[in-house]
Amino acid sequence: MFFPIKGVGPCSESFVQMSMSRFKFLRMLNLSDSSLEALPSSIGALKHLRYSDLYRNMQLKKLPESICRLQSLQTLRLEDCTQLEEIPQGIGNLTNLRFLEITTKQTLLLRNINQTETFLTSLRFLSFFKCDNLEHLFEDMHHFTSLRTLVIASCASLYTLPQTLQHLTTLETLVIGDCENLELTDEEQDDDQDSKLRLRTLLIGELQELLALPKWLHGSASTLQYLYVDDCPNFMALPEWVQDFTSLEKIEMLRCPKLSYLPEGLSHLTCLRKLTIGHCPRLIDRCKMVVGEDWPKIAHVNEIYLDGFKL
């Protein structure tokens, strides 16, 4: 069931409830860009529902607990639901859920999720977007045993990541952006010895507090293929241990004005085929072909772009 006209989706809960009662075998429900303040509890009767899109329901304040009975549900989009007060406690019962986007006004997400071993164990994609009050993610992330992609963006109050994030052995892509208070280098958890991450892609952007890459990233030394750092005004340098990233193929570093040199170990990255540096004035001069002080470290790279120009 679709309400496809952007910005003029259904605004009446009774209308949605009537529609649901007439289509009990519904598999897809698109209520994006609607003006609903709440969903009817009757949504829990849609036992065959696999896809529910509530994207950009900016008046939506509450989800019924009955939504947690949708055992066939695989996709739930709650992105840009900026007035949503909380995620239902029973969300972990959605054992077939694979794709989840969250925007919420909560400061802390669900507690005591370690009481069940089946908490969202099928989830492959998880996104937090515009969670302005969120200070902590899930306390325990051990249960996300199928998670492939994690996106954390525009969460202004988030200041640390859970230590259990380092134990997500299936995680391949981590995207973190526009979290002005987030520190990735927590001394209490920044230990590569404990990290079991096997990332392939790391995208970081608009992190005011980022000074250096976290040591727990070293756990992905044999798997990381793509590293992207953008608009991190206090980012100083790549670590010397970047030489251990034997699978790294692509590095992009943009708008990092304090980035002033490349580590010696970069010359050992034989798989590195593309290097992009832009709006990093201190570094650009050092990377100029032949004459740059850091040129010998990158001369082996097939494609090099400095401020948009290919060398």
Is CATH 3.20.20.70 correct for 1-83?
Answer: no
In CATH, what number does 84-310 get? Answer: 3.80.10.10
**CATH 3.80.10.10 domain locations along the chain:** 1-83, 84-310
One-letter amino acid for residue 236 of the chain: M
Q: Tokens representing 241?
A: 């241990």
Q: What is the C-alpha separation between 247 and 20, in angstroms, rounded? A: 50
- pLDDT for 8 equals 46
Longest dimension (CA), the chain: 73
Check: CB of residue 113 under 8 Å from CB of residue 139.
Answer: yes
pLDDT the model gives residue 7: 44
Neighbours of 4 (CB within 10 A): 9
Over the Cα atoms of the chain, what is R_g? 22
Contact 76, 99 (CB under 8 A): yes
Q: Global pTM?
A: 0.92
How far apart (Å, rounded) are the C-alpha atoms in residues 128 and 154?
A: 8
**pLDDT 10s per residue in the chain (311 long)?**
555 444 445 556 677 777 777 888 899 999 999 888 888 899 999 999 999 999 999 999 999 999 999 999 999 999 999 999 999 988 988 999 999 999 999 998 866 555 555 688 999 999 999 999 999 888 778 889 999 999 999 999 999 998 889 999 999 999 999 999 998 875 555 555 578 899 999 999 999 999 999 999 999 999 999 999 999 999 999 999 999 999 999 999 999 999 999 999 999 999 999 999 999 999 999 999 999 999 999 999 999 999 999 98
